[in-house]
Amino acid sequence: MTPFLFLGGFYVGWNIGANDTANCVGTSVGSGLLSYRGAIVLVSLFVVIGGLLQGGNVAMTVGKGVVEVELPQAAVLVALISAGVFVTLATVLKLPVSTTQAIVGAVAGIGMAAGAPVNVGKLAEIAQVWVINPFLMALLSYAIYRVATSLMRRVRYVELWDRLMGVLVLFSVAYMAFSLGANHVGTTIGPLVNLGFGGRWLILFGGLAIATGVLTFSRGVTETLSGSITVLDPLSAFSAQAAAAMGVHLFSILGIPVSTSQAVVGAVVGVGIVKGIRAISRRRVLEILIGWVATPTTAGLLAFGLYRLVGYLGGA
């Protein structure tokens, strides 16, 4: 069973990399400052670094905070597969969904199916952060864009302005990738932590799984976020990514699994508000909002039903 568990964990990490890379590079690729190929190499590196340095806090929350007792190995495997399949489908459809919501929903669903005590208080705390997250990022990106615009107006030479923007965008991509690793490596390995696995090697395993998804299957969702919500210039791309990275990093330190998709979409909307509400594609935002509601619910129900079916057939 153990090899299948790690294959399931790797599959979840691969899905996170495939779907959430857009949250790190979509705005920069959309602004034309970075090529997709160069961006994903940068993300792959900093995802692993972020996971190694700060991935443990979220891993404990997902592994021991949602369901406080050790689950059967079959239950953990079903949770990993359920979350992974849902995110794979979303990635194929080029929809930026919350992989965090998928895995948390799946773990909660499995806990209920297995009759294990689910920490409702912890789930409520996580859900509250999910609601606050996009609004907080919108306000933060709005503020960063205003301040950055004021400062950059003082740069009179076009060549210097271009160089500064290039540096700022590279920094924001690297920081967002670091924050993705700090938060989502814990999401990847959290179910395995529930079974008692741990150590630096497990965190590295999660980081490499995400990096593999980044390098192999991340282009589609990146195209969705690269300009379909609002048209981005380099300064707005930096502002959105910097705001999202700061928010996700803060929640990672607090051990709270959050959605980088929510963070980036909220930040992009915040920048769009500066340009006027008509600059925002309300249809695309509505589609993404529906996905956020459907993700934890669908993943949880899928995990619950699949585990009950496995149990009925005598496999758990």
Q: Is the pLDDT of residue 46 over 90?
A: yes
Q: Assign residue 97 a region: left if phi > 0, alpha if psi is -120 to 50, beta otherwise?
A: beta
* Sequence-separated (6 or more) residues with CB below 8 Å from residue 225: 22, 23, 26, 27, 30, 96, 264, 265, 268
pLDDT of residue 230: 58
What's the token pair of residue 106?
């799946």
Q: Which of 90-94, 140-144, 259-263 has the largest mean confidence?
A: 140-144
21-30 residue pLDDT tens: 877 887 777 6
What is the residue-averaged pLDDT of the chain? 87
Higher pLDDT among residues 230 and 73, named by residue: 73
CB 123 within 8 A of CB 316: no
- DSSP track, 252-275: HHTT----HHHHHHHHHHHHHHHH
Distance in angstroms (rounded) separating the CA atoms of residues 218 and 82: 20
- Name the β-bridge partners of 67: 118
Distance in angstroms (rounded) separating the CA atoms of residues 70 and 76: 9
CB 216 within 8 A of CB 18: yes
pLDDT of residue 242: 93
Q: Is the pLDDT of residue 278 over 80?
A: no
Percent residues over pLDDT 90 in the chain: 50
pLDDT of residue 276: 64
CB-based burial label for 170 (10 Å; 0-12, 13-18, 19+): middle
- Name the β-bridge partners of 118: 67
Q: Is the pLDDT of residue 198 over 80?
A: yes
CB 100 within 8 A of CB 299: no
pLDDT of residue 243: 94
Q: Look up the domain containing 226 and give its range.
A: 2-312
CB-based burial label for 227 (10 Å; 0-12, 13-18, 19+): middle
Enter the pTM of the model. 0.89
Distance in angstroms (rounded) separating the CA atoms of residues 32 and 1: 46
Distance in angstroms (rounded) separating the CA atoms of residues 193 and 203: 10
Distance in angstroms (rounded) separating the CA atoms of residues 26 and 244: 12
104-156 residue pLDDT tens: 999 999 999 999 999 999 999 998 898 899 889 999 999 999 999 999 888 88
pLDDT of residue 279: 54
pLDDT of residue 226: 60
| SS3 track for 134-196 | HHHHHHHHHHHHHHHHHHHCCCCCHHHHHHHHHHHHHHHHHHHHHHHHHHHHHHHHHHHHHCC
Distance in angstroms (rounded) separating the CA atoms of residues 273 and 280: 8
Number of domains in the chain: 1
What's the token pair of residue 137?
């990022």
204-241 residue pLDDT tens: 999 999 999 999 988 777 776 665 555 678 888 889 88
Percent residues over pLDDT 70 in the chain: 90
Cα Rg of the chain (Å, integer) = 19
CA angle 16-248-128, nearest 5°? 95
pLDDT of residue 288: 65
Query: Can you tell me the mean pLDDT for 280-288?
Result: 65
pLDDT of residue 204: 95
